[in-house]
Structure 1
Amino acid sequence: MAGGTKLEPRPVAARPAESPAPAPPPPSQPPQPSAPLTPLPPTRSSRPPRSSRTRRFFLRAAFAFGAIGGTAAALTPIFRADPRKSAAPAPGPVDGVPDARFDERFDEMYGGRRIQGTASGVRVDGRPLHLMRRADGTYVSVVNHFESFPTALATARAAVDDLGGTQLSLAGPALH
């Protein structure tokens, strides 16, 4: 073969036959026990006694029934709830007296800016001002979300005060 290596056969040596391991030499005298031998306790069978099997079965069954019953009790109100009903009542008039905080509509000039409030939201100079309603009924805005105000109009006025001469972003709260 050109450029390759030439392999030459080697003789294979036969292995010697294995001999069995030598037996240990017999003891000269059997060992003398220092104390009398006591019989070993009877070995346990692999099966537990019948009474423990029934107890174990009872405990497993009680745990399973408890887990199933607890899950069913926790999920029952969810399955029985009417999806057409709202979880929280809609804000509205209390005792027939309308509350201005729930249905504010305003259009005014404040600090050289036009503030408009409708059912769809609040705008300052035509740009949306994102307001958030808190659980206690007050409002916060993205301009000043460290202070809450009783009405949407008061929140918009505070935002105009904080903005100074700058404009609101057109991107709105989606990119906030």
Structure 2
Amino acid sequence: MGTTTRLATAADAADVARLLRDFNAEYDDPAPPQEWLAARVGALLADDTVVVLATATDEGGDAGEAGDGPHGLALLRLRPSLWEDALEAYLAELYVVPALRGRGHGRVLLRAAMDAVHARGATYLDLTTTNTDEAAVALYESVGFDRHERRGPDVESYYFEIDLPAD
């Protein structure tokens, strides 16, 4: 498996929007129209507080089943830390197309995302997910995130956090 990961640019806005819409559709969550979301992503990509990584793979036929363009993404937001003179990062979205899951692409993407925000000065990363996304829970725990449980009326959600390596 060869997975390449790179910082997304404004030229990737339509592909990033497509992946975000596919992710929401998978969980029956609403999403804005493609054109609007692509414009929004383009604006966010111009903001220094947003980091988007896109991945591609060289898996031949399997990648073709996944469609053209990027096959995964990580979208992170940076914010000033309250407790130190540094940044913190929030992983808002991590997505790999279904045809390529279970092959390590998510792990490559997550580690690249951690490296990218660390390179921008983040010393801490957090995220949330639900207990229904068992593959994501396993991935975050395997990378070393600490899990904290929160309960809701219909689903249990998890808050994950990790300190990024000190320089």
> Is this a same-fold pair by TM over 0.5?
no
Quickly name the TM-score band, shorter chain normalised. under 0.3
TM-score between both structures, scaled by the size of structure 1: 0.21
> Which structure carries more helix by proportion?
2
TM-score between both structures, scaled by the size of structure 2: 0.21
Tell me which structure has the larger Cα radius of gyration: 1
Higher relative contact order (CA 8 A, sep 6+): 2
> Which structure carries more strand by proportion?
2
